[in-house]
Amino acid sequence: MSATIIETVDITKIYGMGDISVAALNGINLKIEAGEFVAIMGPSGSGKSTLMHILGCLSQPSSGQYILDGEDVSHLDKAQLAAVRNRKIGFIFQAYNLLARTSALRNVTLPLLYNHVDAKLSVEDGDQKARAMLELVGLGERVNHQPHELSGGQQQRVAIARALINDPVMVIADEPTGNLDSRSGEEIMNLLHKLHGQGTTIVMVTHDPKIATHTQRTIVLKDGVIDTINHNGQHHPAAEVQHEAA
């Protein structure tokens, strides 16, 4: 049907050395197609964040192969990984991770600073695109607000706008609703559904089974290996949005 975005072959991640080494990941084989919305679950310490870091090119696997969007990124150096993150990946963190004392607009344009591919994009065009993204996440009125002037949910929406600014091939979200109350969390989930409906590939870590059921697939990790993969029925993304909004 569509292109494979993520393909991992026997990925391991081993922290430390010798006797005290910890195998956080112990052979992960995973395939995620374009346009999928996948949840990753599992008990604390099962390796969810570790996997997300590797999938997000923030760190390298100890062994195994990772093919992202048709490109083997397993052996890239720091600078090359940074370029891949910039071009292909949008991050949403539990702790928002916005730059303090910096306006929503400047937070959203941050990835453009490091975009060496679209260097032709002028500052004006970049700002216009960032405004459009903030509009999309419902913050068109808060362009010049700084993080401390925004609620948690609003900050997370700025982070989502930032994740989308470089047209990534996928969005990686590590417990995006973890710091939010249920109402704000639901708003964020609606937004993610909306993005999914527009074709964005999303991989999301969550602890909340209820939230996980809203995705297409749930991958459950246990002790660094994939325990089970659940297909959560055939939700139509658009119907999902209506369901959530109701």
Partner 1 sequence: MKPLEAIRIAWEAILKNKVRSLLTMLGIIIGVAAVIIMVAISAGTEATIQDQITSLGSNLVFVQGAMTRGGPGQAPTGGLVYDDAAAIQDGVSGVKAVVVEQNSSETVKAGDVTLEDVEILGTTTGFPSVRDMDISEGRYFTEQEIERKTKVAILGYDVAQELFGDASPVGEYIKVGNTQIAIIGVFKEKGLVGNTDFDSRIYMPISVVFQKFTPSMFARFMGDSVRMIYVEVEDGVNQDTVIAGIERLLVKRHDVTTDTEDFTITTQQDIISTRESTTAAFRSLLAWVAGVSLIVGGIGIMNIMLVSVTERTREIGIRQAVGATPADIRLQFLTEALMLSVVGGLIGTLVGISGAYIFGALSDMRTVIQASSILLAFGSAAAVGAFFGYYPANQAAQLDPIEALRYE
Ligand X SMILES: Nc1ncnc2c1ncn2[C@@H]1O[C@H](COP(=O)(O)OP(=O)(O)OP(=O)(O)O)[C@@H](O)[C@H]1O
How near is the Cβ of 235 to ligand X at its closest, in Å?
25
202 vs 61: CA distance, rounded Å: 21
Given Mg ion, ligand X, partner 1, none, residue 15, with its beta carbon under 5 to 8 Å by kind, binds ligand X
| Residue with smallest beta-carbon separation from Mg ion | 49
Residue in 46, 60, 184, 216 binding ligand X, rule: CB under 6 A: 46
Does position 179 bind Mg ion by CB under 5 A? no
Give me the 196-225 binding string for Mg ion, x by CB under 5 A, dash otherwise.
Answer: ------------------------------
Residue in 26, 27, 45, 143 binding ligand X, rule: CB under 6 A: 45
| Total binding residues toward Mg ion, as defined by CB under 5 A | 1
Does position 63 bind Mg ion by CB under 5 A? no
Does position 177 bind ligand X by CB under 6 A? no
Does position 16 bind ligand X by CB under 6 A? yes
Residues that bind ligand X (CB under 6 A): 15-16, 22, 24, 42, 44-50
